[in-house]
Amino acid sequence: MHSDRVCRLDAGQFHGDVVRRREVGGFWLTEDIYPRNLHIPRHSHQLAYLSFVLNGSYTEYAENQARECTPGTAIFHPAGETHSDHFQRAGGRIFSVEIAQAWTQRLRDESCDTAASRTFNRGAVTMTASQLLREFREPDPFSALAVEGLVLQLLAQLGRHRPTPLPGPARWMKIVLDVLHTDFDQKLDLTLIANRAGIHPVHLARQFRRHHGRTVGHYIRQVRTDAACQRLSRSDEPISEIALQTGFFDQSHFTRTLKRLTGYTPAQYRKQVRGR
């Protein structure tokens, strides 16, 4: 079995190129640009935050879902949520608002669920975010007050939002996810995974796609790629060794997969994320 470490980002830290950043009243506001075809390995953030897609598009893979993020999309991320991101050919520009722990606790005290991610497409949240972005970009002597007021308005909208609950996956799904995230470096197939969960492979395939928006095979490939990308960014291990230790058949298989997902070969990806 293989356990991989997850990078944890402190307040104000993101993987993009910072255009502007500002701290106001315990909130950290950041505007970042992300290059095309960028693949960001699994990571988490110290603080809960709201992100607003300004342009470009990307797919965000959390533990139990895939989010398609396009212009106008707003996403609430709980503190400590683990996810990875894959930007498309246009790259992306994102405006993020991180929320101090005291305010997150205030939301919890008011019975707002801060442990689950939420996606907003248009509506009041994105309208307020647009106003906030204008104040953030064009500061004047009163912009700090305006920014703080608009962020508090966003928190109120977040607290009032009550998403319609969807039927959750069966208990066996947790077993399946545990297998995929713990034994991804082993030889896995649908029958083996289904047997461990005590269900029929056909039922597994159908329900997994329904709840996660992709096949089991695609999910395993993403987990393996995330683990391999973490090793590329943090170590000088030979690429052939990384490929074998993260479940790929060989270095060629890993290279083809990473090139298809990110547009980079393993060597190019390592150079890109290390900035040299």
| Tokens encoding 235 | 């170590």
CA distance 48 to 65: 18
Assess whether 153 and 186 both reside in one domain: no
pLDDT in tens, 165-219: 545 567 888 889 889 888 999 999 999 999 998 999 889 898 888 777 778 988 8
Assess whether 131 and 217 both reside in one domain: no
CA distance 20 to 203: 48
Assess whether 176 and 256 both reside in one domain: yes
Specify the pLDDT at position 238: 93
* For residues 236-245, average pLDDT: 93
Specify the pLDDT at position 163: 57
Average pLDDT along the chain = 85
- Report the C-alpha dihedral over residues 191, 196, 201, 203, rounded to 10 degrees: -170
pLDDT for 275 beyond 70: no
Specify the pLDDT at position 49: 94
CA distance 94 to 18: 10
Assess whether 30 and 133 both reside in one domain: yes
**Domain residue limits at 230:** 172-274
Percent of the chain with pLDDT over 70: 93
Domain boundary among 114, 132, 160: 160
Specify the pLDDT at position 166: 46
In a domain, 2, yes or no: no
CATH number of 250's domain: 1.10.10.60
CATH number of 139's domain: 2.60.120.280
Specify the pLDDT at position 169: 62
Specify the pLDDT at position 3: 43
In a domain, 246, yes or no: yes
Of 66, 10, 49, the C-alpha closest to 223 is 66
Specify the pLDDT at position 108: 85
Beta bridge partner(s), residue 39 = 86
Domain boundary among 160, 192, 207: 160
DSSP state of 228: H
CA distance 99 to 78: 10
Q: How far apart are the two ends of the chain, measured CA to CA in Å?
A: 32
| Tokens encoding 171 | 């208990």
* For residues 48-53, average pLDDT: 93
pLDDT for 139 beyond 80: yes
Record the pTM.
0.65
Specify the pLDDT at position 223: 86
Assess whether 114 and 26 both reside in one domain: yes
Number of domains present in the structure of the chain:
2
Assess whether 35 and 141 both reside in one domain: yes
CA distance 76 to 4: 25
In a domain, 1, yes or no: no
pLDDT for 162 beyond 70: no
Of 37, 13, 36, the C-alpha closest to 96 is 13
* For residues 217-225, average pLDDT: 87
pLDDT for 142 beyond 70: yes
pLDDT for 2 beyond 60: no
**Can you say how many angstroms the Cα of residue 72 is from the centroid of all Cα atoms in its chain?**
17
pLDDT for 4 beyond 70: no
| Tokens encoding 193 | 């995974």
More confident residue, 174 or 32: 32
Q: Is 243 left (phi over 0), alpha (psi -120 to 50) or beta?
A: alpha
Could you list the beta-strand ranges (E) of 100-195. 118-121
